[in-house]
């Protein structure tokens, strides 16, 4: 399998799940106990 490098910019209000959606996309996991980052 070949490696693909990319850059992604996510814009949005705080505490809406930007980090969670990237974790889901990159690592195929979701951490329900992740603290909010305000």
Q: Where are the domains of the chain?
A: 6-38
Question: How many helices (DSSP H) and strands (DSSP E) are in the chain?
Answer: 1, 0
- Which pair of tokens denotes residue 24? 């889901």
The reported pLDDT for the residue numbered 5 is 92
Helix runs in the chain, H state only? 18-27
Model pLDDT for residues 1-38, shown as the tens digit of each residue: 899 898 999 999 988 889 889 989 889 988 888 776 66
Distance CA 24, CA 38 (A): 20
The reported pLDDT for the residue numbered 10 is 94
Measured on CA atoms in the order 15, 31, 35, 6, is the torsion positive or negative? negative
Which value, to the nearest 10 degrees, does the dihedral of the CA atoms of residues 4, 18, 29, 32 take?
Answer: 170
């Amino acid at each position: 399998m070949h490696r693909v490098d990319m850059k992604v910019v996510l814009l949005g209000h705080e505490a809406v799940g930007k980090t969670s959606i990237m974790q889901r996309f990159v690592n195929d996991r979701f951490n329900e106990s992740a603290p909010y980052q305000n």
